[in-house]
Structure 1
Amino acid sequence: MRKSLRGKQIVACGTLVALLAATTAAPALAVTTNPLQRALDRVTAQGGAPGAEAVVTDHGRVTETRSGTGDLTTGKPYPHDAKFRVGSVTKTFVATVVLQLVADGKVQLDAPIERYLPGLVAGNGNDGRQITVRNLLQHTSGLYNYTDDVLTADPESLRHRGAEPGELVAIALQHPPLFAPGRGWSYSNTDYIVAGMLVEKVTGRSLATEIDRRIARPLGLRDTSLPGRGDEHLPAPHPRGYLSLGGPPADFTDFDPSTAGAAGGLVSSGRDLDTFFSALLAGRLLPAAQLAQMRRTVPAPTEPGADYGLGLIRRTLPDGTPYWGHDGGIFGFATLAGALDSGRAAAVSVNELPAPDGVQQNTETAFEIALARK
């Protein structure tokens, strides 16, 4: 999940955590005329991240650029067609499924969540009768972000913990709402945990099954899946995922991602993310009416330069070209993914989070170069 795309550390399930990163000896930058390669090398050789990858898809042509290592123990390079944890990019998948249910007439965007999950959101001033499905997908519900509590713990204590969605919602409901529904904007992973529960209640199937049958299989996304509780291992090929806690980078590849769940637990690849965002913006996953709703944005005051739709962020490249996408961070991995309306798509992944301060800015620059480069 995530907290911010620019200017802040994306960490674990989306909460800003002030952690010191270790300084490690970095190799010199290789001489290259490829601007994307140079940008990724700045992420690794200068920034200190172990490895990074950019996958660009433009009208069926796929290019992959890699830098650094996927395994600090063996020194193996960042693997080709790598699978990794995508964090809050999960939210765009979940919002797409919910909007498909809206198109099917099974969910109404402006209906209260109480209609579908009676009694779930109640207490301490939280009222599911006042919070709509749109509020959840748009982060205008006012619900407290449960990860602000969960991530105060030592990461190692969370490695095998896992959680059920209802448990995560209960953590959030220990706090009063941040504002009345629809009267503010605040990024809350709780919103998407509830949205995932909505999908399961309405369909009678798991969220993982619905993402697979409604998105992954129709688009041929072979690397995309939502792990269940206790499923701690990444499928091969994958880089190791690292985090820095004031000492040498620690391997945090294997852990139970159900603490992120519908808000950030998805596994995918750069190629799959490109295919997904291109297909989404081209109208292959949603009817025109629902895609238009997804692209209706509200200001995101804590996210400079960003407007938030329904699980979809609108930003602009340095030349002013708008793009749509999402970023994500979870222990060991940071991801940025999105597409232009023209269909060109890019996904950049880095296998360290938390990471040194310079890594995030360099990663964002690499992503902008990947998406804009002709």
Structure 2
Amino acid sequence: MHKFHSYCISASGEERGEGNFDARFPYWSFTKTAIAICALKLCERGILQPDSPVDGAAYTLRQLLNHTAGLPDYGTLKAYHDAVAAGEQPWDRQTLLSAALAQGMLFAPGEGWSYSNVGYMLVREQIEAASGLDLAQLVAEIISTPLGLNSISLVTTREQFAQLHCEAAGKYHPGWVYHGCLAGNVRDAARLLHGLFTGKLLNAAWLAEMRVTYPLGGALEGRPWTACGYALGLMKGAMGKAGRSAGHSGGGPSCVNAVYYFPDLSEPVSGACFTDGHDEGEAETELVRLVQNVR
């Protein structure tokens, strides 16, 4: 029996939740949404250009953000999963990058779609180099401080990960998430997305850019999605009767999450759900149930 920890915020400011609102969880791939917000904020400030080649490569920042750059992913490497399962120290950047890129480009930039954690590692490096700040500082300045999110931090060591509400705590090294792994409570995850879609993080033009979606298809078996796509750091589509959705799911050893904005309900709702296990669909399904009961 899964234990769900959920929190929702409606457009009118009603907040409700279930489970533990204060325990801190790994945000896993919801970190990509935060990275994308930081990248687009730097674009808003004129520091980065979304459609310029990244470090002389054929792909652009926008293509990295929406997974159309053609880069392979390290998640397909058996050696990677074996090393994680064995509790090894993370590989250094060059070892990881060489192993991933040895698989070859999957397609020419802009000519397809394939999810790539490598791409988000490169985005992180790009925004850190352009700003002169590391990811933790960028998240604090652009997201956490403006929204008053006090639980969110970047976890980088086993010792930090050991403090999280997760069965893998104390065993897993977050350095295996090469784009970085944020952690925080479920309430702050919902508030982060609420802040984004109520215009507190990006201006209207850049929020609109973030929402431009590459369509990927229809229903996913075992998950509530009835239409799927990917925008800039946002999984975007629709979840049945809850209507359109935008946010991100994430998962890693022993726990999963779903953090989404639902604009088609009687009033828009942002929500987050964290639970144990390995099935992101279970967190998504529980979140859909909860947001449909928000009045």
Shift of 1:152: 3.4
Residue number among 44, 63, 87 corresponding to 2:28 in the alignment: 87
Residue number among 6, 9, 14 corresponding to 1:61 in the alignment: 14
Q: Which residue of 1 aligns with 2:275?
A: 350
Residue number among 230, 236, 256 corresponding to 1:314 in the alignment: 236
- Letter paired with 1:259: W
Higher relative contact order (CA 8 A, sep 6+): 1
Q: Which residue of 1 aligns with 2:62?
A: 134
Asked if 1 retains the 8 angstrom alpha-carbon contact of 2:249 and 2:259, the reply is: yes
Residue number among 137, 152, 166 corresponding to 1:240 in the alignment: 166
Give the direction of change, closer, same or farther, for the CA distance of 1:52–1:320 in structure 2 (3 Å limit): closer
Asked if 1 retains the 8 angstrom alpha-carbon contact of 2:117 and 2:178, the reply is: no
Give per-residue Cα distances to partners, 1:96-147, cap 9 Å, x unaligned. 00000101111110001125xxxxxxxxxxxx1x111111000001101012
The whole-number CA distance in structure 2 between the counterparts of 1:109 and 1:303 is 30
The whole-number CA distance in structure 1 between the counterparts of 2:166 and 2:39 is 32
3-state SS of 2:68 partner: coil
The whole-number CA distance in structure 2 between the counterparts of 1:255 and 1:330 is 10
Bigger shift: residues 317-326 or 202-211: 317-326
Give the direction of change, closer, same or farther, for the CA distance of 1:203–1:166 in structure 2 (3 Å limit): farther
3-state SS of 2:81 partner: coil
Query: For structure 1, which runs of at least 5 residues remain unmatched after alignment?
Result: 1-43, 67-78, 116-127, 242-250, 354-358
5 Å matches for 1:98-113?
A: 98-113=39-54
Give the direction of change, closer, same or farther, for the CA distance of 1:258–1:171 in structure 2 (3 Å limit): same
Give per-residue Cα distances to partners, 1:282-325, cap 9 Å, x unaligned. 11111111111110001125984211100012122322621211
Shift of 1:371: 2.1
Q: Which residue of 2 aligns with 1:281?
A: 197
- Letter paired with 1:289: A
The whole-number CA distance in structure 2 between the counterparts of 1:63 and 1:302 is 30
The whole-number CA distance in structure 2 between the counterparts of 1:151 and 1:349 is 25
3-state SS of 2:55 partner: helix
Q: Determine whether 1:205 maps to 2:133.
A: yes
Alignment RMSD, CA only?
2.2
Q: Which residue of 1 aligns with 2:223?
A: none
Shift of 1:206: 1.0
Asked if 1 retains the 8 angstrom alpha-carbon contact of 2:72 and 2:101, the reply is: yes
Give the structure with the larger helix fraction. Answer: 2
The whole-number CA distance in structure 2 between the counterparts of 1:194 and 1:166 is 12
Q: Determine whether 1:323 maps to 2:245.
A: yes
- Letter paired with 1:140: T
- Letter paired with 2:50: L
The whole-number CA distance in structure 2 between the counterparts of 1:167 and 1:219 is 37
Residue number among 152, 164, 167 corresponding to 2:81 in the alignment: 152
Give the direction of change, closer, same or farther, for the CA distance of 1:168–1:199 in structure 2 (3 Å limit): farther
Asked if 1 retains the 8 angstrom alpha-carbon contact of 2:159 and 2:170, the reply is: no
Asked if 2 retains the 8 angstrom alpha-carbon contact of 1:89 and 1:337, the reply is: yes
Give the direction of change, closer, same or farther, for the CA distance of 1:230–1:239 in structure 2 (3 Å limit): closer
Residue number among 365, 368, 373 corresponding to 2:285 in the alignment: 365
Shift of 1:364: 2.7
Larger-gyration structure (1/2): 1
Asked if 2 retains the 8 angstrom alpha-carbon contact of 1:185 and 1:301, the reply is: no
Give per-residue Cα distances to partners, 1:2-61, cap 9 Å, x unaligned. xxxxxxxxxxxxxxxxxxxxxxxxxxxxxxxxxxxxxxxxxx2xxxx4x22111222333
Q: Which residue of 1 aligns with 2:182?
A: 266
Give per-residue Cα distances to partners, 1:248-301, cap 9 Å, x unaligned. xxx555421111032x51112111011111111111111111111110001125
3-state SS of 1:192 partner: helix
The whole-number CA distance in structure 2 between the counterparts of 1:230 and 1:206 is 20
Shift of 1:81: 1.7
Give the direction of change, closer, same or farther, for the CA distance of 1:193–1:348 in structure 2 (3 Å limit): same
5 Å matches for 1:179-218?
A: 179-218=107-146
- Letter paired with 2:5: E
Same amino acid, percent of matched pairs? 28
The whole-number CA distance in structure 1 between the counterparts of 2:247 and 2:136 is 21
Shift of 1:151: 3.7
How high is the TM-score relative to the length of structure 2? 0.88
Asked if 1 retains the 8 angstrom alpha-carbon contact of 2:67 and 2:113, the reply is: yes
3-state SS of 2:111 partner: coil
Asked if 1 retains the 8 angstrom alpha-carbon contact of 2:158 and 2:171, the reply is: no
5 Å matches for 1:280-299?
A: 280-299=196-215
Give per-residue Cα distances to partners, 1:54-75, cap 9 Å, x unaligned. 1122233322213xxxxxxxxx
